[in-house]
């Protein structure tokens, strides 16, 4: 034995005792069930290795907490047991094998039920009348909560006479008192309005409502009761009415109890796992919380044969769901830069097993989110991962905040490239302004730059660009123009791209010839946020040369038609960033020639200056082509109908919303032939 182990064991004992107190006595748990189970398991492991350490005060020697002193105690005639837990298929297999061995057959029926996440109570009926109700307490002695339980509508005060036989002289019905999720939500809302402390979850709410001295309060809480087990049973002539768990549940139904409809008799491991999966899927939609399922050997005589281990039946087991919420430490907040320059804070967590996986990182989305969740670095936080949804940090527990907790501050320069970070007013996301320079954005920015409406380098695909960037041949857009034919040859190595090997000289020539372009295409190619094709054209037209645009302040930029403050800020910030200017200067040094006007523009007065939206499929033009036609004629294209739209050009199967909006606004609607007529009007 190591001393370290022993002190770890002792510390576990103290921790568990504290959590027991918080849970059972104060109805105010400080950790999740799964974490509690984890502590208990470590304790039990020590105890199985060192039975000599076990003393009567070990939490393993008790079933539940001490009874609350404010209620009268009730000594249970038949002890209220707990259940062993399994957390995975391996442990379940071990349970199943134990059952097979104990029964001497594989032909075993199991009754499967949900594991209700409420609190266990026992109801004692004598001559069909509710005599008392009690909580489990420590399993031997509970609290008398008769007055409170009588307010639960699903608890019969008087039993129905069952179909067969007479009422038993004594029957103790055991089951779970719980609160529906929707009732819990209502209660929390009400508690918030009243400004009083809220319950953490429906189970605490159910416990708090039942262990309430004033039954009037309990009655308002709409608790429910589901029966699942039998305590004492005395009956002169109801022998043979139920010989197994599933018939017992039917019997409860006939007496007037609520029994879950989500129960099933199954065989073999497959049957058990099938029920587990089904309930996992149903879980979200159930009106109440469950934290797993319970498998019970169905047959009562087999149950007796298999027997009990200390405080739990050996013939039954709870198969718990992986906890969906866990507590962990927020170790740090790192900032990641996305392909479009968005800066995303990411939580670095102390690894935690939640929802079936180990989670170490979780996105925090943006600064506002961090503030809303009241997160500080060093905090204890609740992490949630439900189903296949990505893990999320829900909230911090400020009461556990260490003195050295730090506030998160969004960096003012990009952690990847050092460029300035902008956060436009009213926007939640901070962004790196070094779009042309930043390594995180370079692939995306080059893909955009070479696209058809920008520098139009036909044949240079996204994959090629990714390869050129990841191989280090391109760090910034200007590097593209320094590539040799043999650099481009490399692209042809894999089968998919083999055609390219032949094309390398052609591609090289295309790259070089793309340097002769127009100012508007060049501007659009830079990938400035909010600057689309049309704005690029407006800017080019208004300023006439690149230098003037680069040096214009926001007040000058706003003078451009259709350029608002947000756009002006974005343009100004882009050109203010020295890293971007450096790339642009390099491009110009490499021989870019920027013509002021787009070629082929032949202004058509019927179209020039008018704003168009296109919807549906046109016969004569593809979507890109029609944009080109309108723009070349001096018109403007926009993607949605607004007050500023002059014409909605409709093809076949036009979009409903655009059409409706145009009708509402009285926008002129053009068919394809009407548009052609306009074009002819020159
Ligand atoms: S049977 C003989 N069935 O789980 C075993 N218990 O961990 C006694 N529970 O105190 C319980 N759903 O509060 C049984 N379908 C179910 C249950 C269930 C929830 C709770 C109950 C018990 C605890 C044991």
Is-contact 228 179, C-beta < 8 A?
no
* Residue that wins the pLDDT comparison between 351 and 25: 351
DSSP, collapsed to helix, strand or coil, labels residue 178 as strand
Residue 228's Cβ-count burial label (10 Å; 0-12, 13-18, 19+) is buried
Mode of pairing for the β-strands spanning 636-637 and 611-615: parallel
The protein residue with its alpha carbon nearest to ligand 1, atom 21, reads 120
Mode of pairing for the β-strands spanning 380-384 and 325-337: antiparallel
Q: 335: which residues sit within 8 A by CB, 6+ positions away? A: 343, 344, 345, 346, 410, 411, 415
- Best residue among 81, 115, 249, 297 to mutate for probing ligand 1's pocket (most ligand atoms within 8 Å of CB) is 115
The whole-number pLDDT of residue 1 equals 53
Average pLDDT, the chain: 89
- Best residue among 79, 230, 318 to mutate for probing ligand 1's pocket (most ligand atoms within 8 Å of CB) is 318
DSSP, collapsed to helix, strand or coil, labels residue 89 as helix
The whole-number pLDDT of residue 556 equals 95
How far apart CA 412 and CA 526 sit, in angstroms, is: 22
Which of 533, 552, 532, 554 lies closest to 544 in space, CA to CA? 552
How far apart CA 666 and CA 646 sit, in angstroms, is: 9
Q: Categorize the per-residue pLDDT at 26 as very low, low, confident or very high, splitting at 50, 70 and 90.
A: low
How far apart CA 225 and CA 235 sit, in angstroms, is: 24
DSSP, collapsed to helix, strand or coil, labels residue 657 as helix
- Ligand 1 is surrounded, with C-beta below 6 A, by 81-83, 113, 115-116, 120, 136, 176, 228-229, 294, 313, 316, 318
Q: Could you give the angle at the alpha carbon of 66 between the alpha carbons of 231 and 185, nearest 5°?
A: 80
How far apart CA 109 and CA 271 sit, in angstroms, is: 10
Which domains, from first to last, does the chain contain? Answer: 3-62 (1.10.287.610), 84-320 (3.30.470.30), 325-422 (2.40.50.140), 438-514 (1.10.150.20), 518-595 (1.10.150.20), 611-680 (3.40.50.10190)
Largest CA distance in the chain: 106
Which of 419, 444, 425 lies closest to 568 in space, CA to CA? 425
How far apart CA 481 and CA 460 sit, in angstroms, is: 13
296 annotated to bind ligand? yes
CA of 114 to the centre of ligand 1 (A): 9
The whole-number pLDDT of residue 66 equals 43
Task: Give the tokens for residue 363.
Answer: 């996105």
DSSP, collapsed to helix, strand or coil, labels residue 619 as coil
Mean pLDDT of 328-341: 94
How far apart CA 621 and CA 313 sit, in angstroms, is: 76
Q: Categorize the per-residue pLDDT at 645 as very low, low, confident or very high, splitting at 50, 70 and 90.
A: very high
Q: Categorize the per-residue pLDDT at 502 as very low, low, confident or very high, splitting at 50, 70 and 90.
A: very low
Helix (H) or strand (E) holding 555: helix 554-558
Task: Give the tokens for residue 2.
Answer: 């190591």
* Residue that wins the pLDDT comparison between 43 and 347: 347
Which of 621, 615, 622 lies closest to 657 in space, CA to CA? 615
DSSP, collapsed to helix, strand or coil, labels residue 210 as helix
Side-chain-facing half-sphere of 615: CA atoms under 13 Å? 20
Would you tell me the crossing angle of helices 3-20 and 33-49 to the nearest 10 degrees? 140
CA of 254 to the centre of ligand 1 (A): 21
Concatenating the DSSP letter of every residue in 436-502 gives TT-TTTHHHHHHHHTSTTTT--TT--HHHHHHHHHTTS-SSHHHHTT--HHHHHGGGGSGGGTHHHH
E strands along 310-374, which residues? 312-313, 316-320, 325-337, 342-354, 357-363
The protein residue with its alpha carbon nearest to ligand 1, atom 6, reads 115
Catalytic residue check, 115:
yes
Encode 503-532 in three state secondary structure. HHHHHHHHHHHCCEEEHHHHHHHCCCCCCC
CA of 304 to the centre of ligand 1 (A): 18
* pTM, entire model: 0.56
pLDDT in tens, 533-580: 889 999 999 999 999 999 999 999 999 988 999 899 999 999 999 999
pLDDT in tens, 359-403: 999 999 999 999 999 999 999 999 998 766 789 999 999 989 999
Q: How many CB atoms lie within 10 A of CB 26?
A: 13
Could you tell me what percent of the chain has a pLDDT over 90?
66
**Choice among 128-137, 183-192, 234-243, 612-621 with the minimum mean pLDDT:** 234-243
CA of 151 to the centre of ligand 1 (A): 22
């Amino acid at each position: 034995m190591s001393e370290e182990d022993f002190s770890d064991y002792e510390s576990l004992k103290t921790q568990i005792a504290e959590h027991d107190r918080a849970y059972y006595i104060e109805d105010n748990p400080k950790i999740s069930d799964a974490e509690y189970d984890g502590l208990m398991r470590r304790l039990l492991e020590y105890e199985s290795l060192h039975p000599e350490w076990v003393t009567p005060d070990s939490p393993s020697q008790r079933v539940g907490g001490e009874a609350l002193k404010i209620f009268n105690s009730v000594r249970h005639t038949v002890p209220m047991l707990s259940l062993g837990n399994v957390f995975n298929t391996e442990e379940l297999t071990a349970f199943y094998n134990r059952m097979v061995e104990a029964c001497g057959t594989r032909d075993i029926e199991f009754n499967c039920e949900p594991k209700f996440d409420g609190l266990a109570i026992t109801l004692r009926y004598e001559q069909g009348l509710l005599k008392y109700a009690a909580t489990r307490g420590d399993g031997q002695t509970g609290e008398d909560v008769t007055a409170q339980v009588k307010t639960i509508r699903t608890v019969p005060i008087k039993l129905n006479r069952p179909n067969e036989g007479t009422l038993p002289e004594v029957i103790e019905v055991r089951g779970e008192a719980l609160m529906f999720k929707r009732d819990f939500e209502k209660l929390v809302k009400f508690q918030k309005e009243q400004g009083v402390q809220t319950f953490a979850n429906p189970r605490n709410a159910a416990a708090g409502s039942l262990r309430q001295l004033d039954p009037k309060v309990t009655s308002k809480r709409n608790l429910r009761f589901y029966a699942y087990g039998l305590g004492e049973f005395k009956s002169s002539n109801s022998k043979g009415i139920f010989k197994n768990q599933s018939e017992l549940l039917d019997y409860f139904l006939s007496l007037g109890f609520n029994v879950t409809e989500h129960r099933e008799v199954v065989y073999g491991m497959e049957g058990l796992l099938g029920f587990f999966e089904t309930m996992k899927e149903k879980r979200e939609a159930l009106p109440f919380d469950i934290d797993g399922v319970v498998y019970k050997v169905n047959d009562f005589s087999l149950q007796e044969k298999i027997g009990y281990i200390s405080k739990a039946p050996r013939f039954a087991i709870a198969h718990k769901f992986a906890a969906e919420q866990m507590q962990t430490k927020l170790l740090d907040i790192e900032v990641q830069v996305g392909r479009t320059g968005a800066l995303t804070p990411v939580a670095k967590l102390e690894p935690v097993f939640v929802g079936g996986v180990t989670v170490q990182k979780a996105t925090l989305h943006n600064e506002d989110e961090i503030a809303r969740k009241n997160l500080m670095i060093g905090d204890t936080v609740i992490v949630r991962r439900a189903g296949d949804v990505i893990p999320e940090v829900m909230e911090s527990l400020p009461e556990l905040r260490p003195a050295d907790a730090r506030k998160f501050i969004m960096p003012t320069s990009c952690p990847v490239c050092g460029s300035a970070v902008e956060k436009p007013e009213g926007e939640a996301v901070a962004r790196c302004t070094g779009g042309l320079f930043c390594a995180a954005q370079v692939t995306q920015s080059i893909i955009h730059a070479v696209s058809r409406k920008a520098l139009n380098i036909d044949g240079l695909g996204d994959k090629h660009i990714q390869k050129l960037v990841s191989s280090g041949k391109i760090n910034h857009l200007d590097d593209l123009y320094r590539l040799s034919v043999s650099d481009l040859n490399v692209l042809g190595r894999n089968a998919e791209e083999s055609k390219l090997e032949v094309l390398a000289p052609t591609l090289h020539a295309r790259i070089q010839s793309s340097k002769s372009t127009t100012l508007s295409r060049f501007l659009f190619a830079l990938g400035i946020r909010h600057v689309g094709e049309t704005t690029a054209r407006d800017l080019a037209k208004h300023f006439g040369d690149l230098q003037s645009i680069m040096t214009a302040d926001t007040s000058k930029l706003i003078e451009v038609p259709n350029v608002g403050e947000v756009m002006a800020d974005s343009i100004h910030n882009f050109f203010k960033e020295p890293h971007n200017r450096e790339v642009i200067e390099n491009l110009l040094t490499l021989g870019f020639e920027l013509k002021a006007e787009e070629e082929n523009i032949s202004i058509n007065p019927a179209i020039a200056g008018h704003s168009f939206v296109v919807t549906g499929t046109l016969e004569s033009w593809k979507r890109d082509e029609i944009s080109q036609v309108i723009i070349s004629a001096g018109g403007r294209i926009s993607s949605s109908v607004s007050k500023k739209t002059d014409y909605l050009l409709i093809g076949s199967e036009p979009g409903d919303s655009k059409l409706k909006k145009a009708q509402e606004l009285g926008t002129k609607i053009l068919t394809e032939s009407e548009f052609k007529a306009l074009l002819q009007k020159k």
